[in-house]
Structure formats: structure tokens, C-alpha cells
Amino acid sequence: MFKKLFSPFHLKGLRLENRIVMPGLASFLIEDDGSVTEKTIEHYRMRAAGGPAMVIVEAHAVTPEAIVNPHQAQIYDDRFTEGISKIAGVIKSEGAIAALQIHHGGRQVPFRVIKQKPFAPSNLPCPTIRGDVEPLTHEGIQRIVQAFGDSAERVVEAGFEMIEIHGAHGYLINSFLSRFSNIREDEYGGDITGRARFGVEIIREVRKRIGDSFPLSFKISAQEFVSEGLTTEESIELLKVLVPAGIDIVQVSAGNDATPEWICQPMFMEKACLADSAQKIKQALDIPVMSVGRINDPLVADTIISEEKADLVCMGRGLLADPELPKKAKKGNLDDIRICIACNTCMESIFRKGRIECLVNPTLGREKEMEIHPTDKPKRVMVVGGGPGGLEVAWISAIRGHEVHLYEREAALGGQLNLATVADYKKELLNLISFQKSQLEKSDVRIHLNHEVTLDTISEESPDVVIFATGSVPLLPPMPGIEKPNILTSTEIFNGRKPDRKKTIVVGGGPTGCEVAQHLSANGCPVTIVELLPKIAGQLESITRKVLLGKLKANNVQLMTENKVARIEEDGVFVIGTDEKELFLEAETVVMAVGNKPVNGLYEKIKAKGITSYQIGDCLEPRSAKAAIYEGAVIGRTI
């Protein structure tokens, strides 16, 4: 099945047992004072135990002003060495190579975090954070160069076996390398040699501190996808200057502070979308390379290695979604892998909530507290509803020892996820459904399809526990004309048939409305979104939102924010804007995407009868698949 993925690789005295690397990926499971917690240690232990050859621990700030978030890992003082040494210890105890990434956030550090202007090569603010920056003086540059060297010594002292210098993603080193962010006129700017000088000095200083035999990696954004930004060809020329300073291997990434969609690629983008860039660098330089970017499938990873596009593959979000991915793949148990769907919940959660979470893996960041233990009181459990929440609670309950019966009124499992996968860019949601279905089969859950559950059904089955995961249905708000025949819901749009090319109004500019508009416009329908709020898709994860809005613009979808639908006619809708004037919009079809309402009538009746029962997912409150899966995971572990 695998030609090269599980072959060994040697890197400057290190033997990697396979070609899979977990790259430095923020967990933010760090206390405000920078100390390591038991959650941090367990997070990395589990990833190492899952079978990758090497684990690169997330970016550690080399100075106090280098941190992008209070929960970022830090290494600028000796007091941090003890904590990170525990991480190195558990990674090595599980048989993986322990590496650590050192980092300076540069102009991407918010003022509110460090209470001073962030440092930058030039007086050019970060395009996303904005705010004034402080161009680095020669003295400031040398202070940071020394800080990288000091930090490298701590990494070695802590017991790590490789260091990676973060020179990508718009952070400080990358911002010196690129003309997009570096317009200096001194020896640290200008041509290739000048822009590489800061990086060269850091590499030389680190090499001097760690010795010639210690492996050193450099992470680069080979492409930035902005005007004046790095291209693969220019990055090759930069690496020709950087590598001789002491680099042993290059991790080839992409993107910067203006193009985060290339740093953490959403599901719109192809798998292994940066592998060709890695291949060009590998062919141009006599140095091994690591490829990163949407490599969530071990078969895709094997192809990259087999075709010599890279020597190692980085699987970051893939190992968040399923830390045992490498071991499962090696055994051939592909249907047991909980595949990352590139929803970017992980990245959004660390910045919005200050802790990492995952849609498909509810135990991420909660590994200890969500361990599964066998029940000592087996029960007869009825799960009503076969959506993602119902599937999760069913298989978790069953492997704990309960007798579980799952009832679904439709002919297939998956619930609303089946509708979501109609859009081409969301096809990978099918991987989540497939994983949950395989777990149902292996845990002996009794599945009852095409079965509408009633009070009589529950009385006949006499369960000890009933778990309702009955979901929700589209909301049709009371308004004049809501009964018109040209009214459709998102459920009716995502019916698997190619849409008619009719002029369409989508009422509601939330995530569902935007997905409806994208699906219709991609199939040739002229679409206008009418949204009451001033912002379209405000609830969406920021990177996905940026890409989705770009696609809507490319498909000529018209956006009308701060407009309320007054009434619906058979040939269009009347809307009222902030000027309180009525405007008629012509349309053949009107799609209502203004939210959902829970399907919970049966729960209320069962609850009145005193039967132990729970609600999870949308039938409790319409939200997301992530909430439904998490609630199912919790209930499954506690009943």
C-alpha cells in the first residue's frame, strides 16, 4: 500500500523511522507566565505515541516582545528550560525525535500583548494587525541575533534533538527576507544578500552555539502570493545564501500576514498544494526538504515521497485530528483514521478562545479528562438521530460496554453533513461520516435506518437512556409572502441535483447563506445575498471566510448588507435599507437561509415521563457540527 512513507530517513546522525513529521503547530496549552502544563505534556506525548518519526514542538518566543499571544510558548529565559525538557522527555520516550522551533513574531505581535510597538525591518505595519511598528536598529538586530543563540542553547540543554528556525509566515525573519515587508536601504535590505543577512546572522549564531553535529532546520515561506512577495524562484536564490550558513534541512511552507489562507489552507484548497514548490527547492539545492500544506491523507503523503517531491512530509492538523494516524496507516487501518477536514477550527479556537480545539476530534487539548473508561453498569441506550452528534455518542457509548441502538428516520447516516457535502469544496466532510460509520460497525451499534421514532417505539424498546440528536430544520420566519411557491430552503438547494440557472435571492448572509450562494453561483445562477447585519459570514472562521468571500466575488454574487426583507413576491422581493426606502429586487427563486429551529418535540414528551434522557447538537440549540460532536463525546463518556 505504501512505497516510501514508512521507510527510514537519516538526518545528520538522526535516524527517522519513517517520513512523517509533526510540524511546529501552535497549541497555546501554555499558562500566561509561559509555563508548561500537564495538558501541554500530554498533548505532545499523544502525538509522539501515534507514530510520527519526529515531533517539532510549537514556536517558542526568543524574546519577551516576540510573543504573538500570552499563551505562546516561550524560551527567552532559563526558567523555561525545565518545562520544555519534560516535553522533550515524553516525545523521546514514545520513540519519536524531539525537535523545537524558535521564533520571533516581529510586526505580527499585537501592541496589546507586549505593550510596546512591535519590531519590523521597515516602517511597514502588519496588514492584518495594523498599528505602528518600530523599525529595528543595528543594535536591536544584534540583540535578537544573540537571543536566538541563547534560546538555541536552552533547547539543547532541555534534551531536544533538532532545532528549527521559523523563517516563514510573515514573522520577523520572513519579513526581512521579503521585499513585501523590507524596504530598508542599509545592508539588511535591498538585494538577495542584503535581505538574507539577518537570517544568515541568526543561523550562524545558532550554529556556533549548538555545534556542527546538531541538526538545524529552517522554515521558509517559499511563496507569499502578494505583490513584491517571495516566489519559489526567489526563495531558491535566498536559500543559496542561507543554507551555507549552517542549515541541514528546509521546511517549505507559504504565505505571510496578508495571505494566511496559504499558511493554514482551508478545505477550498487542494491537498498537498505546496508539494510542487518543495520539489523545485529540492531539485535546485543539495539539501533535504520537508513538504507541508494540506497533507492529511497518508496515501497522498506516500505519493509525495515516492515522486521525490520531498524527503519528509509534515502532517500538522492531521495529527491534531487523529494522533494515531501514522500507526493506523502503517497497519493498513485507513478507515479508522479520523481525517482532518481543513475546517481550521484549530487555528480559530486558539485566537478566539486561547486554547486549541478540533471539530472532528473533541479530545484535542482535553486528552486526560476525556479518556474512555469501560462502564461498570451496562445500559440499554437508544440514540435518536444519525447526524454527527448521534453517531459520536453511539460509538463512544458502545465501546464503553453499553448496548446501543441508533435510529435514523432517513435512509442514510450523516444528517445535515450529507447536505453540506453537495458543495464540491466540502466533499471531505464525507471522510468524517465514513470514520464515524466505521466506528459504529466495529463497536456493534445496532443501526435502524428509515425508522421514525415515536413514543410507542420508545415504550416498546424500553431503553434505560434515550439520547436525542434529532437536529434542526430550516427556519421560515413569518413575513408577507413566505408561503409563495418560489420559496426554497438550503435543504432543498443541497438536494444533489444541479441547480437551474435562475436569478436567485438568498435571504441571510451567514455561513449557510454564503455556502448556498457559492453553490448556486458556481453552477451559473445569478445570485444576490440580502443580509440584515453589516457583515457577511461574520461567524465563519476568518481564513475560510476570506476565501469564501473571494469566491463569491469571483462568481459575481451581489452582497446587500444592512437590508431587511419586507415581503416576498412571485417575481422577487422588496427590501428596506438603512434609508428606510423600499427597493424591489427581481428574482425567480428566493432561498431562505436565516437560521434553523430545533426538532425537540419528542424529547419534551419523554422528559415528562421521567425517562433518563439527553439532548445533543442542534435539537438542543442550532449551532455547529463541532458542538454536536463534542456534546456526543461528553455524554458518551459519562452515561
- Choosing from 171, 603, 614, 630, the catalytic residue is 171
What amino acid is encoded at 35 in this protein?
A: S
Measure the CA–CA gap between 415 and 468, rounded to whole angstroms: 13
What is the SS3 assignment for 118? coil
What amino acid is encoded at 12 in this protein?
A: K
148 touches 165 (CB < 8 A): yes
Q: What is the largest CA-CA distance in the chain?
A: 83
As annotated, the residues of the chain forming the CATH 3.40.50.720 domain(s) are 380-474+597-638
97 touches 53 (CB < 8 A): yes
The domain made up of 9-352 is a member of CATH 3.20.20.70: yes
pLDDT-derived band at 197, boundaries 50, 70, 90: very high
Answer yes or no: is pLDDT of 202 > 90. yes
Q: What is the pLDDT of residue 493?
A: 92
Q: What is the pLDDT of residue 457?
A: 94
pLDDT-derived band at 354, boundaries 50, 70, 90: confident
Q: What is the pLDDT of residue 398?
A: 98
Answer yes or no: is pLDDT of 235 > 80. yes
Q: What is the pLDDT of residue 355?
A: 83
Q: What is the pLDDT of residue 106?
A: 98
Please state whether beta strands 564-569 and 216-223 pair in parallel, antiparallel, or not at all (unpaired): unpaired
Q: What is the pLDDT of residue 420?
A: 77
Which residues, 6+ apart, have CB-to-CB distance to 264 below 8 Å?
317, 344, 347, 543
Burial environment of residue 344 by CB neighbours within 10 A (0 to 12, 13 to 18, 19 or more):
buried
Q: What is the pLDDT of residue 623?
A: 82
401 touches 423 (CB < 8 A): no
pLDDT-derived band at 594, boundaries 50, 70, 90: very high
Answer yes or no: is pLDDT of 614 > 90. yes
Measure the CA–CA gap between 463 and 272, rounded to whole angstroms: 47
Measure the CA–CA gap between 43 and 30, rounded to whole angstroms: 11
Q: What is the pLDDT of residue 443?
A: 96
Looking at residues 106-134, what average pLDDT do you find?
Answer: 95
Looking at residue 30, the DSSP 8-state letter turns out to be: B
Domain covering 380-474+597-638 in this structure, CATH number: 3.40.50.720
Answer yes or no: is pLDDT of 324 > 80. yes
Q: What is the pLDDT of residue 582?
A: 94
Q: Mean pLDDT over all residues of the chain?
A: 95
Grid coordinates in use for 152?
538555541
Q: What is the pLDDT of residue 520?
A: 95
Measure the CA–CA gap between 325 and 47, rounded to whole angstroms: 9
Q: Which residue has the cell 453561483?
A: 521
75 touches 69 (CB < 8 A): no
Measure the CA–CA gap between 449 and 385, rounded to whole angstroms: 10
Looking at residue 409, the DSSP 8-state letter turns out to be: S
Q: What is the pLDDT of residue 135?
A: 98
Grid coordinates in use for 520?
448556486
Measure the CA–CA gap between 289 and 282, rounded to whole angstroms: 6
Grid coordinates in use for 555?
462568481
pLDDT-derived band at 156, boundaries 50, 70, 90: very high
The CATH class of the 487-594 domain is: alpha beta
Q: What is the pLDDT of residue 557?
A: 98
Measure the CA–CA gap between 325 and 50, rounded to whole angstroms: 6
The top-scoring range by mean pLDDT among 314-318, 362-366, 544-548 is 314-318
Measure the CA–CA gap between 444 and 367, rounded to whole angstroms: 25
Strands across the sheet containing 527-530: 487-489, 589-592, 504-507, 527-530, 558-560
Q: What is the pLDDT of residue 130?
A: 87
As annotated, the residues of the chain forming the CATH 3.20.20.70 domain(s) are 9-352
pLDDT tens sequence across 162-173: 999 999 999 999
pLDDT tens sequence across 44-94: 999 999 999 999 999 999 999 999 999 999 999 999 999 999 999 999 999
Looking at residues 302-319, what average pLDDT do you find?
Answer: 98
Looking at residues 236-258, what average pLDDT do you find?
Answer: 98
**CB atoms inside a 10 Å sphere around CB 253:** 27
Angle, CA 217 vertex, CA 310 and CA 143 arms, to 5°? 150
As annotated, the residues of the chain forming the CATH 3.50.50.60 domain(s) are 487-594
Measure the CA–CA gap between 337 and 322, rounded to whole angstroms: 7
Answer yes or no: is pLDDT of 1 > 90. no
Which residues, 6+ apart, have CB-to-CB distance to 217 below 8 Å?
56, 99, 162, 163, 164, 165, 247, 248, 249, 250, 251, 290
Nearest partner of 183 among 169, 172, 194, 197, judged by Cα: 194
Answer yes or no: is pLDDT of 498 > 90. no
Element (H, E) at 85: helix 81-93
Grid coordinates in use for 441?
460497525
591 touches 476 (CB < 8 A): no
pLDDT tens sequence across 416-460: 888 878 777 788 888 999 999 999 999 999 999 999 999 999 999
What is the SS3 assignment for 261? helix
Phi, psi of 552 (to 5 degrees): -60, -40
pLDDT tens sequence across 374-389: 999 999 999 999 999 9
Looking at residues 537-541, what average pLDDT do you find?
Answer: 89
**First and final CA of the chain: distance in angstroms?**
40
Measure the CA–CA gap between 326 and 96, rounded to whole angstroms: 12
Measure the CA–CA gap between 63 and 76, rounded to whole angstroms: 5
Q: What is the pLDDT of residue 601?
A: 87
pLDDT-derived band at 353, boundaries 50, 70, 90: confident
Answer yes or no: is pLDDT of 496 > 80. no
Looking at residue 106, the DSSP 8-state letter turns out to be: G
What is the SS3 assignment for 506? strand
What percent of the chain lies above the pLDDT cut of 90? 89
The answer to whether residue 44 is catalytic is no
Measure the CA–CA gap between 173 and 235, rounded to whole angstroms: 13
Q: Which residue has the cell 421560515?
A: 476
